[in-house]
């Protein structure tokens, strides 16, 4: 099976399964806003390698809005909801589960069956998570715990939570704490993964804080 044909099967299966379980589909992925949370289910497939990888992530929705405000992109908050799932300047969110399936049998029936199974599993995880994570503090506690586990597994991992911590302080109007993080990361020459008009995320955050605090 060619990749183009597989992509068609996957897109069709995602749209069908998403409709059953209340997910929206766009560009080969599914997403679901639920109260203050946002969930995204992304897929990557290889027709030649007979492999399928999928990941379920979630985040506190206001993190996107605050990040866009800091970056001078607040219009994104009124854009398509799918921007929160695949936008280049959106918050990545935390992984809830993911798996790589090998030796996939590429047929329309196989794709339909397995996509439905994956979406059903994701939907159950969404239900449980939405009951457990009811505040931004709950979300950050989850993120901090997962980050600690990552560092225990991979001590040299370069993934950090400084951006999310700063954004959380801004959302909670804790400007002194947010400013302290910005100054610390600027001193460490940390771009925060974003450079806009020659300014790092943390430089833009410092400017934003100075304007409102």
Where are the chain's structural domains? Answer: 3-132, 160-212
Helix spans in 71-107 (H): 83-86
Q: Which residues are CB-contacts of 47 (< 8 A; sequence separation ≥ 6)?
A: 1, 2, 3, 5, 6, 106
Give the pLDDT score at 163: 98
Per-residue pLDDT at 1: 87
pTM strictly above 0.75: yes
* pLDDT computed for residue 30 by the predictor: 98
- The stretches in the chain having pLDDT less than 50 are none
pLDDT in tens, 137-182: 999 999 999 999 999 999 988 899 999 999 999 999 999 999 999 9
Closest residue by Cα to residue 129 from 119, 139, 115: 139
**76, 111 Cβ separation under 8 angstroms:** no
Q: Which residues pair with 84 in a beta bridge?
A: none
Compute the distance between CA of residue 110 and CA of residue 116 in angstroms, rounded to an integer.
Answer: 10
Cα within 13 Å of Cα(173), Cβ side: 0
Question: Would you state the pLDDT for residue 28?
Answer: 86
């Amino acid at each position: 099976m060619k990749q183009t044909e597989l992509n068609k099967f996957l897109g069709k299966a995602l749209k069908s399964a998403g409709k059953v379980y209340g997910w929206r589909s766009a560009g080969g992925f599914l997403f679901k806003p639920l109260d203050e949370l946002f969930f995204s289910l992304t897929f990557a497939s290889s027709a030649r390698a007979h492999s399928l990888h999928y990941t379920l992530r979630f985040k506190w929705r206001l993190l996107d809005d605050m990040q866009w405000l800091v970056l001078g992109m607040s219009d994104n908050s009124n854009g398509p909801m799918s921007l929160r799932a695949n936008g280049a300047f959106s918050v990545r969110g935390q992984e809830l589960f993911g798996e790589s399936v090998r030796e996939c049998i590429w047929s329309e029936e196989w794709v339909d069956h397995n996509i439905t199974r994956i979406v059903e599993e994701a939907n159950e995880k969404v239900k449980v998570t939405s009951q457990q994570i009811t505040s931004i503090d709950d979300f950050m506690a989850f993120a901090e715990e997962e980050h600690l586990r990552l560092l225990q597994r991979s001590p040299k991992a370069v993934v950090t939570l400084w951006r999310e911590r700063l954004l959380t302080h801004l959302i909670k109007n804790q400007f002194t704490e947010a400013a302290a993080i910005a100054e610390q990361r600027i001193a460490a020459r940390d771009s925060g993964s974003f450079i806009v008009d020659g300014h790092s995320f943390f430089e833009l955050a410092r400017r934003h804080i100075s304007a409102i605090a």
